Amino acid sequence: MQIKLLQSEEELYRDFIDSNPSSSIYHTLEWRDIIKETYRYKPQYIIAGDGETIKGVLPLFQVNSYINGRRLVSIPFTHRVNILYYDISTLQQMIGFAKDLVSRSSCNYLEIRHGMDLPESVELKCSQNFFDSTLDISEPLDRIWGRFEGSVRRAIRKGRQSDLKITQGTELEDYRIFYELELETRKRQGSPPYSFRFFENLHSKLHTLGKAKLYFASFNNQDIASVIILYYKKIAIYAYGASTSDRDLLKLRPNNLLFWQAIQDAHQCGCQLFDFGTTHPSNKGLLRFKSGWGTSDIRIPYYYFLNTISDIPVLDRDSFKLRFVSGILKRMPLALLRTVGPVLLKQLG
């Protein structure tokens, strides 16, 4: 078994992830190119194989940050990327190669967002700081509807009765409209926004292939909420969402109606799982919102190899520094946030 970095084996790589039941949209080379072209991170995709077939994949990016230092991450701006491997020996060899790569690259640490338990023999430290919320949509729609809490069903009915209109965006200009809502949302949350370049790449590399859908909820011809759903095999992932700051318009429950439409469409396309993404335990409101849809909320493990640091890097959401930065972002003019925010987000990786 040869362990190496992916170079000219892209067709073999595609064949492997297409046939592997545990692969996701984040393993695809399209996603690699989105991250590479948007943020200029260096891809370090580890593969295991015999020259004719690939039997293991560990996709990594090298992120150089003034905030967290140099590190290898699998993969930035994702919530869960399983290591794909044939057997335990293949897994151990790929992890060993990754550890050597951390040392050779003078990285502070390795972070693998595997999302499933790994054997102790890989000798990685484990942290479980996030819940992953998933909804089984393999059953008939009436059964899925029946698992929703009463408050969710009432919100969907209210959205239906509020003259909200649900549409899909297909053009790059539609993604620009989403981006303006995203800026408004991130400002309200005190979080650094993505760059428009990120969504431009997402449109060209995923949407045009039918692997992403953009939904809008509008009222009186005004777009007031929007979501982007990613598709791969039998899984639909809620990836990005944005909405107006007008509380009166949000009372119409556009987000609930958007999610229900996305769930119905994913079900019709043959998807069996709708992934609401990860949530930090401190965000109890968001966890309650997701669980109201009948999701299974499971703590997922991330794994670390520490090279030049002694403790697993954990973002303290209640720290003074984070609250201070968040407060600045909330007060920052949109024009400045549009420029400064993506630079900060790139550093966070």
Contact 317, 282 (CB under 8 A): yes
Q: Is residue 15, in this structure, part of any structural domain at all?
A: yes
Instruction: Identify whether residues 168 and 267 lie together within a single domain.
Output: yes
Give the C-alpha separation, 261 to 282, whole Å.
28
pLDDT of residue 66: 87
Q: Is residue 345, in this structure, part of any structural domain at all?
A: no
What's the CATH number where 256 sits? 3.40.630.30
Tell me what the mean pLDDT of segment 194-210 comes to.
Answer: 97
pLDDT of residue 85: 94
First to last CA, the chain: 32
Helix axes 334-348, 172-189, angle to 10 degrees: 90
pLDDT of residue 87: 93
pLDDT of residue 317: 66
Q: Is residue 283, in this structure, part of any structural domain at all?
A: no
129 or 34, which is more confident: 34
Instruction: Identify whether residues 159 and 122 lie together within a single domain.
Output: no
Instruction: Identify whether residues 238 and 176 lie together within a single domain.
Output: yes
Q: Is residue 26, in this structure, part of any structural domain at all?
A: yes
pLDDT of residue 315: 66
pLDDT of residue 203: 98
Q: Which of 22, 19, 103, 104 is nearest to 58 (CA)?
A: 22
Tell me what the mean pLDDT of segment 1-27 comes to.
Answer: 95
Instruction: Identify whether residues 113 and 146 lie together within a single domain.
Output: no
Phi and psi at residue 95, to the nearest 5° = -65, -40
Candidate from 123-127, 138-142, 314-318 with smallest mean pLDDT? 314-318
Q: Is residue 285, in this structure, part of any structural domain at all?
A: no
Instruction: Retrieve residue 5's tokens.
Output: 């970095």
Q: What's the residue count for the chain?
A: 349
Instruction: Identify whether residues 157 and 39 lie together within a single domain.
Output: no
Instruction: Identify whether residues 178 and 111 lie together within a single domain.
Output: no
Residues 309-332: tens digit of each pLDDT: 999 987 666 677 788 889 999 999
pLDDT band at 105 (very low <50, low <70, confident <90, very high): very high
Instruction: Identify whether residues 202 and 161 lie together within a single domain.
Output: yes
Mean pLDDT (the chain, rounded) = 95
Domain count, the chain: 2
Contacts of 311 (CB under 8 A, 6+ apart): none
Whole-number percent of the chain with pLDDT over 70:
99
Instruction: Identify whether residues 88 and 179 lie together within a single domain.
Output: no
Residues 54-99: tens digit of each pLDDT: 999 999 999 999 888 999 999 999 999 999 998 999 999 999 999 9
Instruction: Identify whether residues 199 and 220 lie together within a single domain.
Output: yes
Q: Of 271, 287, 322, at which residue does a domain stop? A: 271
pLDDT band at 115 (very low <50, low <70, confident <90, very high): confident
Q: Is residue 333, in this structure, part of any structural domain at all?
A: no
SS (H, E, C) the chain: CEEEECCCCHHHHHHHHHHCCCCCHHHCHHHHHHHHHHHCCEECCEEEECCCCEEEEECCEEEEECCCEEEEEECCCCCCCCCEECCHHHHHHHHHHHHHHHHHCCCCEEEECCCCCCCHHHCCEEEEEEEEEEEECCCCHHHHHHCCCHHHHHHHHHHHHCCCEEEEECCHHHHHHHHHHHHHHHHHHCCCCCCHHHHHHHHHHCHHHCCEEEEEEEECCEEEEEEEEEEECCEEEEEEEEECCCHHHHCCCHHHHHHHHHHHHHHHCCCCEEEEEEECCCCHHHHHHHHCCCCEEEEEEEEEEECCCCCCCCCCCCCHHHHHHHHHHHHCCHHHHHHHHHHHHHHHC
Instruction: Identify whether residues 124 and 168 lie together within a single domain.
Output: no
Q: Is residue 89, in this structure, part of any structural domain at all?
A: yes
Q: Which of 2, 84, 100 is nearest to 48 (CA)?
A: 2
Q: Is the pLDDT of residue 180 over 80?
A: yes
Residues 147-174: tens digit of each pLDDT: 999 999 999 999 999 999 999 999 999 9
Q: Is the pLDDT of residue 282 over 90?
A: no
Q: Is residue 91, in this structure, part of any structural domain at all?
A: yes
Instruction: Identify whether residues 231 and 260 lie together within a single domain.
Output: yes
Instruction: Identify whether residues 173 and 218 lie together within a single domain.
Output: yes
Whole-number percent of the chain with pLDDT over 90:
89
What is the domain range of residue 265?
Answer: 138-271
